[in-house]
Amino acid sequence: MSVQNIKQRFGVIGNSPALNYAISIAERVAPTNLSVLISGESGTGKEVFSQIIHQLSSRKHNKFIAVNCGAIPEGTIDSELFGHEKGSFTGANDKRKGYFETVDGGTIFLDEIGEMPIGTQARLLRVLETGEFLKVGSSQVQSTDVRVVAATNKNLLKDIQKGKFREDLYYRLSTVQIETPSLRDRGDDVQLLFRKFSSDFAERNRMEGIRLLPDAMDLIQRYNWPGNVRQLKNVAEQCTLLSNSKEIDAKEISRFIPDAIQSALPKLVDAPGSADSSFSEREILYKIMFDLKADMNDLKKFVLQMAKSSNFSTESLHDFGENTNQDISDFMQHGKLNLEKAVKNVDTVLIQNTDKFNESEEIEETHSLADMEKMMIVRSLEKYKGKRKDAADELGISERTLYRKIKEYKINL
pLDDT digits (tens, 9 = 90+) for 91-113: 777 888 889 999 999 999 999 99
Fold classified for 3-181:
Rossmann fold (3.40.50)
Give the strand order in the sheet containing 176-179.
64-68, 107-111, 147-152, 36-39, 176-179
Residue 312: how many other CB atoms lie within 10 Å: 19
Q: CA dist 7 to 17, 20, 184, 263, 379, Å?
A: 13, 9, 19, 30, 44
pLDDT band at 361 (very low <50, low <70, confident <90, very high): very low
Q: Which whole number is the average pLDDT over 336-365?
A: 45
Residue 267 or residue 302, greater confidence: 302
Whole-number Å distance between alpha carbons of 350 and 32: 73
Return the pLDDT at 356: 42
Summarize the confidence of residues 395-407 as an average pLDDT: 80
Residue of 332 and 197 predicted with greater confidence: 197
Domain 192-253 fold is Helicase, Ruva Protein; domain 3 (1.10.8)
- The domain ranges of the chain are 3-181, 192-253, 281-367, 370-409
Residues 240, 211: Cα–Cα separation, whole Å: 9
Distance from C-alpha of 151 to C-alpha of 68, rounded to nearest angstrom: 10
Asked if 290 contacts 329 with a C-beta cutoff of 8 angstroms, the reply is no
In eight-state DSSP terms, residue 69 is G
Share the mean pLDDT of the chain: 80
Q: Of 23-37, 96-110, 207-221, 289-303, where does mean pLDDT reach its minimum?
A: 289-303
Please state, in angstroms and rounded to a whole number, the distance separating the CA atoms of residues 26 and 46: 11
Tell me the CATH class for 370-409. Answer: mainly alpha
Place 84 in a pLDDT band, splitting at 50, 70 and 90.
confident
Would the pLDDT of 118 be above 70?
Answer: yes
pLDDT of residue 268: 44
CA distance 133 to 101: 9
Q: Among 349, 352, 324, which Cα is nearest to 338's?
A: 324
278 pLDDT higher than 50: no
Query: Taking a C-beta distance cutoff of 8 angstroms, is the pair 190, 196 a contact?
Result: no
Looking at beta carbons, which pairs linking 383-390 to residues 24 or more positions away fall under 8 Å? 386/413
pLDDT band, residue 2 (cuts 50/70/90): confident
Pairwise pLDDT comparison (195 vs 295), residue with the higher score: 195
CB contact set of 31 (below 8 Å; sequence gap of 6+): 56, 57, 58
Per-residue pLDDT at 413:
67
Per CATH, 192-253 and 370-409 having the same topology is answered no
Of 79-93, 232-246, 350-364, 385-399, least confident by mean pLDDT is 350-364
Per DSSP, helices labelled H in 166-262 are: 167-173, 189-204, 214-222, 228-242, 250-253
Contacts of 142-145 with C-beta under 8 Å, sequence gap 24+, read 142/101, 144/100, 144/101, 144/103, 144/104, 145/104, 145/105
Nearest Cα residue to 361 out of 350, 346, 347, 376: 350
The arithmetic mean of pLDDT across residues 310-336, rounded, is 51
Nearest CA to 212 among 150, 184, 254, 181? 254
**Cβ neighbours, 10 Å, residue 391:** 23
Compute the distance between CA of residue 323 and CA of residue 342 in angstroms, rounded to an integer: 8
Q: In the chain, what percentage of residues exceed pLDDT 70?
A: 73
What is the distance between the alpha carbons of residues 332 and 294, in angstroms, rounded to a whole number? 13
How confident is residue 305, by pLDDT bands cut at 50, 70 and 90? low
CA distance 223 to 212: 15
Give whichever of 117-121, 336-340, 359-363 has the largest mean pLDDT. Answer: 117-121
**What is the per-residue pLDDT for 359?**
43
What's the pLDDT band for 56 if we cut at 50, 70, 90? very high
Cα separation, 98 vs 413, whole angstroms: 56
pLDDT at site 29: 96
Per-residue pLDDT band at 155 (split at 50, 70, 90): very high
* Burial (CB count <10 Å: 0-12, 13-18, 19+), residue 260: buried
